[in-house]
Structure 1
Amino acid sequence: MNTFIDFMEKRFIPVANKISENRYLKSVSTGSMALLGVIMVGSIFTVIASFSWGPYQDFLTSTQLGTLLNYIPDFTIDLLGMYMAFSIAYCGADIFKIKEHALGTGLISLVSFLMLSPLTDVPEERLAYLNTSYLGAKGVFVAIFVSLLTIQVMRFFVKKNFTIRMPQGVPEMVTKSFTSLIPAVAIVLIFGLIKLLFSLTSFETATDFIYTLLQQPLQSLTATLPAFLVLILISNLLWFFGIHGSMTVLPILMPIFLGYLAGNTEAVSAGEAIPHVINFGLYDLACLGGSGATIGLVANMFFFSKSKRYRAFSKIVFPSGLFGVNEPVIFGMPLMLNVMLLIPFLLTPLVIVSLGYLLISFGIITAPIGILGAGSLPPLVHGIVQGSLSFGIYEIIAAVLSMAIYFPFFKALDNQAVQEEAAANELASEDSTVSEI
């Protein structure tokens, strides 16, 4: 075990730290999380509109409420790529130390993203329109590349002072607009040239090129259970050593899972089966109670602890664990570097995710939609919000499985604590006797 810990500390953790601190990945992760409100709103209305009960659907149709409810996903999740083009550039400008130009960077990135999206001409009506499929899930990776490149070009011009300087007394917003003018011209020319070059290829658009050569293969890779389990294992190993493992893994999964979310909501709206089973919902299952699926650990502590130490501690960690917060357990128990809990901490998420995936594959339970940001909801409620009552019921079963796996390891710790408290009480009693004499 010592050899393993030494290897992790010397070889694995430094690499993981570099990944989690990478400014490009942080920009993508922060920008994606900033869209949480938009994503949640769109997902919730998709769930509300998609309940498959016949009388309910007839009611939505007869009252036109179904049409009203479907407006919201059309302009939230279905335009996710467009929102990401702004959000990642806006948040990334702060991360790359050009915060004063964040708004301009975000807007220029959005313009550049729209430039790369193809226009469909309608000659008889003398108009052209944007194909919204290029603004949603299909455009997520294009949005990432556009926003990151926009940040770097803007940063280059700002750092080199290749900007228009306004005299004192000019309003701040006007000054910022003119400061961004030269880099804005350079950026739109770059993306205009990219658009032109791709129009001369068989792909025709940058979106089709990236979607075909990069996004589809990555989605296929992360759609496999073994690859997903490996990423969960890496995340929990990092947490065991006190490093925020989710911050290392989620930036890799974020753009892919956001693409899945859009595809899943479209399928649910059409009354079809969810095409992407491995999504944010399944990741939340791996983090039931927090990373390591520690809901079983805190439940055991709350219901079965004999020691004063863990009985008192459970009053804090059990309520927070129900809502997916387990930092008090990891750093306060501590679970971090606690060899006694390493096996259940790594094993539990793999077991409950694998079983859940198996039940979904056999049609026993319905897959979650994959809503981002629902991980703080307690079991059952989380599944319902994800559009699947059966998945919510399985979360209760998964919590019981977590308790069963953690139980023998926790009892060993609890018994040890009981013995230590008994020894401490005995010593205190002896000291009291001596002082009386």
Structure 2
Amino acid sequence: MSNFMNLIEKKLMPIAAKVGQNRYLNAIKDGFVYTMPFLIIGSFILLLVNLPFTDPKNVLYMEWYSNLMGAFKGDLVQPFYVSMGIISLFVSYGIGMSLSNYYKLNGTTGGFLSMYAFLLISAKLDWLPIGQAEGASSLFLIGEGGWMPVMDARYLDAKGLFTAILGAIIAIEIFRVLVQRKFVIKLPDSVPPAIAKSFELLIPIVVVTILYHTINILVMKNLGVMVPEVILKTFAPLLNMSDSLLSLIILLLIIHLFWFAGLHGTNIVVAVVNSITLSNLATNQAALQAGETIPKIFAGGFVDSFIFMGGVGTTLGLTFAMIRSTNTHIKSIGKLSLLPAIFNINEPIMFGTPIVMNPLLFIPFITVPIVNGTIAWFATKYGLVSKIVTLVPWTTPGPLAALLATNFDFSAAILSLVLILLSYFIYTPFLKIYTNSLKEGEM
């Protein structure tokens, strides 16, 4: 154990520190963080218009709800389309703003540049006569015989995420190089700052336009598809592999090893994880909307619903065990930590018990999430619980998060409760050993 602790301190912590300070990963993380409130609202809208109340054979059937959705579902679902439906647009702006701020550039103009670059290679726009689009006149409230602008929005949702990430980073790097080498238009100091900053972006916009539009034309002419389709196919093996149990276990190991070393493991890997889970969530939501079989297991808040109850390490079970402890220190920490743990905040447990760098609690801290994740993965794979289709705030208590995320599948909530109970039983003997060690230290 001593050698293992030395290995973590000398090898793992420097790696984690470098990863945590990586400007690109931090920009990607920020891009998703800025976007999350919109995605949560959009997901709840999708949930509300797809509640399991429309099947007459279902015990939950409600005729009034079925009639309401039949008449107005297309109108009510619109907030979903302008949130989750254009997630890549939001993310591209967020990444551009964050990375620009890192380079001490103007964040707002950098965000707009990234969004512009993404649209250049991801969204084709043209004007079409109303007659070419059946039902368009009534749907878009345009008079018969008129024209309307039509944008191909297929890749503005999660299918364009990888394009948004790469496109934003490259655009801001171009912006940075041009500014550093003084290839920008500088106006006199008497000009208002907002106007001066906008003119500073003119040359970067010209360069980005030439580069991105040329790439887009070449790809469409030679491959017959748009750039996001090429990038999506390139990353398809990663997305398919990420939905496996092995990938989930590896991810949990990395997160919990970082946490054990005193580093915020979740934040370190969140940029990569969100790219995968939100892409998978969008796939599931598209299937839900189309009435098709929902394909992805590791999507949205899967870990929040079935693994991170109480926070990393499934420490809600440990909190209950601590409250029942005979040791005054452990019991008091457990009581103080209960309310935050219910909402998946476990820093009091992590640093108050402590779990960080505590060899006696290391085994359950690593084991419990893997055991719970494995059970939840197989239960989802074999249809014992429904797959995730809604994005829920990570502070939502586990059973409630599972219920909402799976479109009111009560078996998912029950599974989450069972996994909390299981974590309690796994943690308890190790906590007793640790408690005894504290008594011996006092003596």
Name the TM-score, length of structure 1 as normaliser.
Answer: 0.90
Counterpart of 1:356 in structure 2 is 376
**In 1, distance between residues paired with 2:416 and 2:66?**
30
Shift of 1:370: 5.3
Shift of 1:81: 1.3
SS at match of 1:200: helix
SS at match of 1:129: strand
Counterpart of 1:30 in structure 2 is 30
- 1:111-130 mapped onto 2 (5 Å cutoff): 111-119=116-124, 122=128, 129-130=150-151
Shift of 1:405: 0.6
SS at match of 1:287: coil
- Whether the 8 Å contact between 1:260 and 1:370 is mirrored in structure 2 is no
- Whether the 8 Å contact between 2:44 and 2:390 is mirrored in structure 1 is no
Shift of 1:198: 1.2
Could you list the per-position Cα deviations for residues 127-155 of structure 1 after superposition, in whole angstroms to 9, with x for gaps in the alignment? Answer: 66222211112111110111101111111
Could you list the per-position Cα deviations for residues 204-249 of structure 1 after superposition, in whole angstroms to 9, with x for gaps in the alignment? Answer: 32111101112x1110111111011111111101110101111222
1:321 aligns with 2:341: yes
Could you list the per-position Cα deviations for residues 170-203 of structure 1 after superposition, in whole angstroms to 9, with x for gaps in the alignment? Answer: 2221111111111121112211121122123225
**In 2, distance between residues paired with 1:19 and 1:292?**
21
Counterpart of 2:428 in structure 1 is 407
Counterpart of 1:336 in structure 2 is 356
What amino acid maps onto 1:158 in structure 2? V
SS at match of 2:150: strand
Could you list the per-position Cα deviations for residues 104-132 of structure 1 after superposition, in whole angstroms to 9, with x for gaps in the alignment? Answer: 11112111211112537658757662222
1:384 corresponds, among 392, 403, 412, to 403
What amino acid maps onto 1:117 in structure 2? S
1:192 corresponds, among 213, 225, 238, to 213
- Whether the 8 Å contact between 2:308 and 2:398 is mirrored in structure 1 is no
1:247 aligns with 2:267: yes
- 1:359-374 mapped onto 2 (5 Å cutoff): 359-369=379-389, 371=391, 374=393
Shift of 1:58: 5.0
**In 1, distance between residues paired with 2:79 and 2:151?**
19
Shift of 1:382: 1.1
Shift of 1:169: 2.5
**In 1, distance between residues paired with 2:359 and 2:150?**
60
Counterpart of 1:59 in structure 2 is 65
What amino acid maps onto 2:86 in structure 1? L
2:102 corresponds, among 95, 112, 117, to 95
- Whether the 8 Å contact between 2:88 and 2:164 is mirrored in structure 1 is yes
Counterpart of 1:106 in structure 2 is 111
SS at match of 2:222: coil
**In 2, distance between residues paired with 1:420 and 1:209?**
61
Name the TM-score, length of structure 2 as normaliser.
Answer: 0.89
- Whether the 8 Å contact between 2:113 and 2:172 is mirrored in structure 1 is no
Counterpart of 2:135 in structure 1 is none
- Whether the 8 Å contact between 1:290 and 1:324 is mirrored in structure 2 is yes
Counterpart of 1:83 in structure 2 is 90
- Whether the 8 Å contact between 1:50 and 1:271 is mirrored in structure 2 is no
Contiguous gaps of at least 5 residues in structure 2:
55-60, 133-146
- Whether the 8 Å contact between 1:294 and 1:321 is mirrored in structure 2 is yes
Q: Percent identity?
A: 27
Contiguous gaps of at least 5 residues in structure 1:
424-437
Shift of 1:374: 2.1
Counterpart of 2:18 in structure 1 is 18
- Whether the 8 Å contact between 1:120 and 1:128 is mirrored in structure 2 is yes
1:159 aligns with 2:180: yes
- Whether the 8 Å contact between 2:334 and 2:349 is mirrored in structure 1 is no
SS at match of 2:89: helix
What amino acid maps onto 1:368 in structure 2? I
- Whether the 8 Å contact between 1:281 and 1:369 is mirrored in structure 2 is no
**In 1, distance between residues paired with 2:401 and 2:271?**
22
**In 2, distance between residues paired with 1:57 and 1:91?**
48
Q: Classify 1:61/1:155 alpha carbon distance in 2 versus 1 (closer, same or farther; 3 Å).
A: farther
Q: Which has the higher helix share?
A: 1
**In 2, distance between residues paired with 1:409 and 1:332?**
16
SS at match of 1:132: coil
**In 2, distance between residues paired with 1:15 and 1:379?**
31
Counterpart of 1:432 in structure 2 is none
- Whether the 8 Å contact between 1:25 and 1:251 is mirrored in structure 2 is yes
- Whether the 8 Å contact between 1:203 and 1:209 is mirrored in structure 2 is no
**In 2, distance between residues paired with 1:412 and 1:65?**
60
What amino acid maps onto 2:199 in structure 1? F
**In 2, distance between residues paired with 1:127 and 1:370?**
33
Counterpart of 2:152 in structure 1 is 131
**In 2, distance between residues paired with 1:207 and 1:412?**
54
- Whether the 8 Å contact between 1:198 and 1:205 is mirrored in structure 2 is yes
For the aligned residues, what is the CA RMSD? 2.0
**In 2, distance between residues paired with 1:153 and 1:144?**
15
Counterpart of 1:74 in structure 2 is 81
Q: Classify 1:66/1:199 alpha carbon distance in 2 versus 1 (closer, same or farther; 3 Å).
A: closer
Shift of 1:92: 1.9
